[in-house]
Amino acid sequence: MRIIPAIDIIDGNCVRLSKGDYSTKKVYNENPLEVAKEFEDNGIKFLHVVDLDGAKSKHIVNYKILELIASKTNLQIDFGGGIKTSKDVEIAFNSGASQITGGSVAATNSNLFLQWLDRYGSDKIILGADCSNRKISTNGWIDKSDIDVVDFIKDYGAKGVKNVICTDIAKDGMLEGTSNELYREIMSESPVNLIASGGVSSMDDLYQLIELGCEGAILGKAIYEGKITLKQLQELC
């Protein structure tokens, strides 16, 4: 299983939220590059970067930080947040992203998302499936829908999507464990590479995700709050 630390960006700072609530913002470092380099120095190869300003603004904002991290490290970066147009996708890839994650677009403009999938391929385009009470949420988790997350992933899996990041919003940033039952159901319904996101609080959570068969796990606050050390992750990697 790939270990994928997260760097969420607001106003150029490395932050974390709780349940996606912007009012809970906590700044952990004013220099995201410094954080990324520390990950790389400890054997991490992958990085999940979220442009929270972009998610709220509905267009990519922090691409310069993406460019800086990509140019100063060898990390393979998947980038999401505010990617709403083909221009946003181009900016992200031109700024050094290895992959981009499309969530809101996939829920609201399926034709456009499938155009990206066709143009760049399933290795480059990740489906973002962020949900609250099993229902897909969009635009920085501000807007809710009636789309069931399992059906959403199953439908896109049939259309050629290979990689999926599924975040249970109720778990995100809460350090209370992961949504293993939901992940198990998703993988039983669709043969996608599932990347678990939200709620990782300990090494035991990671071991459980490995046992479930998740392709990757994204974690953030557990690292920043010292619940999981970079040395532990280095040993696991």
Identify the CA nearest to 19 among candidates 167, 235, 224, 217: 167
CA dihedral 18, 23, 26, 27 (to 10 degrees): 130
Nearest-angstrom CA–CA distance, 12 and 177? 28
Question: 130 catalytic, yes or no?
Answer: yes
Cα gap 38→195, rounded to integer Å: 22
Q: Examine the residue annotation and report whether 41 is marked as an active-site residue of this protein.
A: no
- In 3D space, the residue among 194, 212, 198, 207 whose CA is nearest the CA of residue 233 turns out to be 207
Candidates 8, 51, 88, 172; catalytic one: 8
Could you say which of 130, 168, 172, 205 is catalytic? 130
What letter represents residue 222's amino acid?
A
Token digits for 45? Answer: 């190869």
State the Cα–Cα distance between residues 234 and 70, nearest whole angstrom: 21
**Catalytic machinery residues:** 8, 130
